[in-house]
């Protein structure tokens, strides 16, 4: 799916794994649905960003209610600025904007955030998005904040939650590299499964200090005053 992900085994240890085979990935861009565990969990955003290919701009559509509940995207945190943000009044407008975006093959991805289970978001609407995404080769992601996994035309359906972050090599009391608990509960052509993944290999995080850190800093032993 993406080159940046790595698999995390139990206890925050990164297992050696072929990056290309970590997570099931569809052969062609299609519609994926992401269900964050709750609106107060930003983990799905990070999980999604790890999937994004660079080079092409992306269209990020946020419904007003999703923006109030879970915040507006913040480009300095995203690490990229080649995006177009759409502030949609309601789910209908958001779905329309997503479909328009999917018709534009110059985009790298179209991301939509929708709050709850609006009436406009039925099987037909998701099916339309999936077909548009496949026809034009633009990946579509639907973030369903506070929504239920009802009938949908999405090809891949994920439940994503934040997992305790990996150890921070410099400061064991500080949050480290982000990790996510991702569950693929429905997909076409793939068996469901559950993975704990991390954005990048923590061994490469601070290559300059890695040796010193290994020698002196062991998690839980050092007392930071």
Partner 1 sequence: MPRLSIERWLKASGGSDDADQTLRVALVVEAAHGQIVHAATRAAGVRRGTRLTDARAVDPGLAAVAADLAGDAALLARLARWASRWSPLVEVEGADGLRMDVTGVAHLFGGEAELMRDVEERLAAMGLTCRVALAATAGAAWGLARYGFSPQGGEGDSARLSVKGLPPVRRGGAPSPNPLPPGERESLSALLAPLPVAALRLPPGPTRTLELLGLKTIGQLAGVPRRSLARRFREADNPLDALDRMLGRKSEPLTGAPCEAPPRATIRLAEPVADPSAARQALDLLVPKLVAILAARRLGVRRLLLCGYRVDGEVAMAAAATALPSREAKHLRRLLVDRTDELDPGFGFDAFLLEASWCEPLGAAQDSLIEEPRGEREVAELVDRLSVRLGADKVRRPVARGSHWPERASGWVGVADSSSSSVAVAAPPRPQRLLDHPEAIGVIYATPEGLPRRFTWRRGVHDIKRVEGPERIAPEWWRERASARLRDYYRVEDNQGRRFWIYREGLIGDGRGGAPLWYLHGLFG
Residues that bind partner 1 (CB under 8 A): 40-49, 56-57, 59, 67-68, 70-78, 81, 83-89, 93, 96-97, 100-101, 103-107, 161-165, 168, 171, 173-176, 178-179, 181
Residue (28 or 173) nearer to partner 1, CB: 173
We find the least distance from the C-beta atom of residue 193 to partner 1, in angstroms, to be: 19
We find the least distance from the C-beta atom of residue 188 to partner 1, in angstroms, to be: 26
We find the least distance from the C-beta atom of residue 181 to partner 1, in angstroms, to be: 8
We find the least distance from the C-beta atom of residue 160 to partner 1, in angstroms, to be: 10
Q: Distance between alpha carbon 171 and the CA centroid of its chain, in Å?
A: 26
Residue (22 or 44) nearer to partner 1, CB: 44
| HEC sequence for 123-162 | HHHHHHHHHHHHHHCCEEEEEEECCCCCCCCCCEEEEEEE
Nearest to 116 by CA among 45, 72, 63: 63
Residue (151 or 224) nearer to partner 1, CB: 224
Which whole-number Å values give the CA distances from 98 to 90, 151, 166, in the listed order? 12, 19, 34
Q: Which residues is 184 bridged to in the sheet?
A: 158, 193
């Amino acid at each position: 799916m993406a080159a940046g992900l790595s698999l995390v085994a139990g206890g925050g240890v990164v297992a050696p794994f072929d990056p290309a085979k970590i997570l099931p990935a569809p052969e062609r861009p299609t519609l994926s649905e992401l269900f964050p565990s709750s609106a107060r969990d930003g983990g799905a955003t990070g999980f999604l960003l790890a999937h994004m290919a660079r080079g092409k701009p992306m269209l990020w559509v946020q419904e007003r209610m999703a923006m109030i509940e879970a915040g507006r995207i913040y480009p300095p945190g995203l690490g990229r600025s080649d995006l177009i943000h759409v502030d949609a009044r309601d789910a209908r407008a958001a779905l329309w904007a997503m479909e328009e975006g999917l018709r534009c093959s110059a985009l790298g991805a179209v991301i939509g955030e929708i709050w709850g289970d609006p009436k406009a978001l039925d099987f037909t609407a998701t099916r339309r998005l999936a077909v548009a995404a496949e026809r034009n080769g633009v990946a579509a992601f639907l973030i369903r904040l506070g929504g239920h996994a009802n009938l949908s035309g999405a090809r891949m359906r994920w439940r994503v939650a934040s997992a305790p972050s990996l150890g921070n090599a410099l400061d064991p009391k500080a949050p480290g590299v982000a990790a996510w608990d991702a569950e693929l509960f429905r997909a076409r052509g793939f068996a469901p499964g559950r993975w704990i993944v991390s954005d990048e290999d923590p061994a490469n995080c601070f290559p300059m200090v890695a040796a010193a850190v290994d020698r002196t800093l062991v998690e839980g032993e050092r007392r930071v005053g």
